[in-house]
Amino acid sequence: MLGWADSEREDCAHSPVVRGVRAAVNCGCEIVGESVKLAELLELIERVAPTSSTVLILGESGTGKELVARALHRNSQRADRPLVAINCAAITETLLESELFGHEKGAFTGAISRKKGKLEMAEGGTLFLDEISELAPAMQAKLLRALQEREFDPVGGTRPIKMNVRVIAATNRNLAEEVQAGRFRSDLFYRLNVVSLTTPSLRDRSEDIPLLAHSFIAKVSEKYRVPRKTLSADALTLLMQYDWPGNVRELENAIERAVVLGTSSEISTEDLPPAVREPARETIDAGFQGAVKENKKQLVLQAMEKANGYYVDAAKILGLHPNSLLRLIRTLGLRSVSGGTPHAGRQLA
């Protein structure tokens, strides 16, 4: 069953959280799901989006932080202006200043013409700074000045450029801990952390997995122009049981793999990545081994009881050598088993 049960839908239909979900989805948000945690996030997006407040998005990798940034922009008063994104971890420190602030002609070797930076390109709109924690100290200081003064200097420029940009930043690190460790400026942290949103991990909203899986099947099928496949019950069970350390991005990749490599019209367990299949097998193996160990314990205890605690006699009952029974007792953690009248060398002490 996808999402909430029918009875839950009826009970929750008029709640503010659910209204927030529907409002966010209806406004062009690409985030898929009906879990309570996602509903709470979408309600916050709906409330924060119309403002011009700086937003800091926290969350693990693959949880959709960029989708949240896009939802904030699309539902803002700046929606008709650009949303410009820059990944602070993907550009070297020497190039990042030029990418962010732009440069004038002749500012450095190779600067054959003036180039607009991301801040200038985002004028009137939104600048999304992904992986903000990766900014070098010098760039942190320059970004802080731009946010405080609402102006910036292009590389090689002599006159500052005024800016009207909403800044949304994102990171998968704990910025408060980065500040404590001296790796991130506290004043920049407080400037960015006006409103904080946290994207939940997929394991914290596992009830959304069926909806997400079917959504990705449709997306991938359209992308590769292949017939849409169904998802077997066993495959869905594995998807629900897996911990998804890579979150929604990992799930999307797993579904794409299954659609591309699968040979039938139904996605089976064998079409899923080994990482998704193996934990389930390990769980089954662990359960089987546990059952075998428990059964051995019961057999040994019964034999010891019949032999009044004499392990040599118990070994005969079990068809084992006495030394083998002693090793088995140690392995099973039954060393304290005893009973009957003591008899040196024969009764288990």
pLDDT attached to residue 54: 97
Name which residue leads in pLDDT, 13 or 234: 234
Domain extent, residue 303, equals 290-332
pLDDT more than 90, % of the chain: 60
pLDDT tens digits for range 203-253: 999 999 999 999 999 999 999 999 999 999 999 999 999 999 999 999 999
Let me know whether 56 and 133 are in one domain.
yes
Q: Is 279 inside any structural domain?
A: no
CATH number reported for the structural domain that contains residue 160 in this entry = 3.40.50.300
Average pLDDT over residues 55-83: 96
Question: How many angstroms separate the Cα of 65 from the Cα of each of 109, 223, 227, 285?
Answer: 36, 23, 30, 37
Name which residue leads in pLDDT, 95 or 193: 193
pLDDT tens digits for range 260-274: 999 899 999 999 999
Q: Is 280 inside any structural domain?
A: no
Say which amino acid occupies 49: A
Let me know whether 160 and 132 are in one domain.
yes
pLDDT attached to residue 322: 80
Report whether 142 contacts 37 (CB < 8 A): no
Q: Rounded CA gap, 86 and 55, in Å?
A: 15
> Pairing relation of β-strands 161-162 and 151-152?
antiparallel
Q: Is 212 inside any structural domain?
A: yes
Q: Is 209 inside any structural domain?
A: yes
Domain boundary residue, one of 183, 200, 217 = 200
pLDDT tens digits for range 128-152: 999 999 999 999 999 999 999 999 9
Produce one character per residue of 200-228: b if its CB has 16 or more CB atoms within 10 Å, e if not: bbbeebbbbbbbbbbbbbeebeeeeeeee
Let me know whether 188 and 235 are in one domain.
no
Let me know whether 231 and 305 are in one domain.
no
Let me know whether 82 and 215 are in one domain.
no
pLDDT attached to residue 254: 96
Let me know whether 182 and 68 are in one domain.
yes
Q: Is 125 inside any structural domain?
A: yes
Let me know whether 42 and 75 are in one domain.
no
Question: How many angstroms separate the Cα of 210 from the Cα of each of 105, 252, 263?
Answer: 53, 12, 21
Q: Rounded CA gap, 103 and 133, in Å?
A: 24
- Residue entry with tokens 């008063």: 77
pTM higher than 0.85: no
Q: Is 301 inside any structural domain?
A: yes
Produce one character per residue of 276-302: b if its CB has 16 or more CB atoms within 10 Å, e if not: bbeebeeeeeeeeeeeeeeebbeebbe
Let me know whether 73 and 171 are in one domain.
yes
Q: Is 107 inside any structural domain?
A: yes
Let me know whether 145 and 255 are in one domain.
no
Let me know whether 72 and 195 are in one domain.
yes
Ranges 23-37, 148-162, 280-294, 315-329, most confident: 148-162
CATH number reported for the structural domain that contains residue 214 in this entry = 1.10.8.60
Let me know whether 255 and 237 are in one domain.
yes
Q: Is 282 inside any structural domain?
A: no
pLDDT attached to residue 259: 95
- Give strand ranges (E) for the chain: 55-58, 83-87, 102-103, 115-116, 126-130, 151-152, 161-162, 166-171, 195-198, 230-231, 266-267
pLDDT attached to residue 288: 59
Mean pLDDT is lowest, of 100-109, 120-129, 143-152, 187-196, for: 100-109
pLDDT attached to residue 21: 42
Report the number of distinct structural domains present in the chain: 4
User: How confident is residue 92, by pLDDT bands cut at 50, 70 and 90?
Assistant: confident
pLDDT tens digits for range 141-189: 999 999 999 999 898 887 899 999 999 999 999 999 999 999 999 999 9
Q: For residue 348, is pLDDT > 50?
A: no
340: helix, coil or strand?
Answer: coil
Domain boundary residue, one of 154, 171, 200 = 200
pLDDT attached to residue 156: 84
Report whether 259 contacts 229 (CB < 8 A): yes
Let me know whether 71 and 147 are in one domain.
yes
Q: For residue 15, is pLDDT > 80?
A: no
Chain centre distance of CA 206: 11
Domain boundary residue, one of 165, 200, 235 = 200
